[in-house]
Amino acid sequence: MKQLKIQITLTLIGILVFIFSTNVFGQDAKEIVRKADTKFNGEKSSYSEMSMTIVRPAYKRNLEFKGWVEKSGNSLTLVTAPPKEKGQSFLKNGNNLWSWNPTIQRLIKLPPAMMSQGWMGSDYSNDDILKESSFVKDYKHELKGTEVIDGHDCYVIDMFPLEDANVVWGKITMWISKDEYMTFKAEYYDEEMYLVKTHLAHTVKKFDDRKLPSVMEIIPADEDEYKTIVTIKEMKFNIPLKPNFFSQQNMKRIR
């Protein structure tokens, strides 16, 4: 009888450990990523104003830009400064990617192969700006554990591309805070699992109805003294957007 009680007790402990580890400790890795993605991009849409400093050993270069993102995946980015690049815009509509240069009045369709390249000569990729891939839909997610980043207790999640996904990276590892679902660190690896770049986020501020890190540093793994600093100046969420907002016509006239 005593042995039976011990067996029952051990079985109950095993069940409780399983429930705790799957539902309390980790939640669902994909759900954690979804919450972080929704927090940054909005439940329906978002609008942002950002500045960018491109740091190189011999110089620094500054840009300013606006961005509109729709939950469906459409996005539009407009460069607002400096004067030389002002007016250039970048559009993702469905699976189509476009850039518009008002100086030469030229519309260019961007091939998927360009998504890993630096946007406007920065360490921020075209994929980061145009959001051609989806962290939620295009990857499978694995919870690896937890780690404290700058005082924030974070989930550590590995993301591997699905077989049919048209994505840039071979693996992405994210550090997402447990309390507010803010992404404080991300590492991007190529298909051979070599680290390509690291994103570090800090300086939490309130934008509209939520808190987010307001500064992000993008640091390439193989370039000494190279980095790009992106600072959020303003963000609004769930803004109304007209049905034809993400169009070639609008990317030419947006201000």
Q: Is residue 111 part of a domain?
A: yes
Structural domains in the chain (count): 1
Q: Is residue 2 part of a domain?
A: no
Q: Is residue 197 part of a domain?
A: yes
Q: Is residue 208 part of a domain?
A: yes
**18 three-class SS:** helix
Q: Is residue 193 part of a domain?
A: yes
pLDDT given for residue 21 in this prediction? 45
Q: Is residue 10 part of a domain?
A: no
Pairing of strands 96-101, 89-93: antiparallel
Closest CA to 37 of 73, 81, 86, 89: 73
CA–CA separation, 2 vs 4, rounded Å? Answer: 5
Domain of residue 243 covers 29-253
Provide CB contacts within 8 A for 194, sequence distance 6+: 221
The model's pLDDT over 90-147, given as tens digits with 9 standing for 90+, comes to: 999 988 899 999 999 999 998 877 878 899 999 998 888 887 678 999 999 999 999 9
**255 three-class SS:** coil
Q: How many residues does the chain have?
A: 255
Q: Is residue 5 part of a domain?
A: no
- What's the CATH code of the domain at 244? 2.50.20.10
Q: Is residue 19 part of a domain?
A: no
The model's pLDDT over 28-82, given as tens digits with 9 standing for 90+, comes to: 999 999 999 999 999 999 999 999 999 999 999 999 999 999 988 899 999 999 9
Tokens of 207: 């934008």
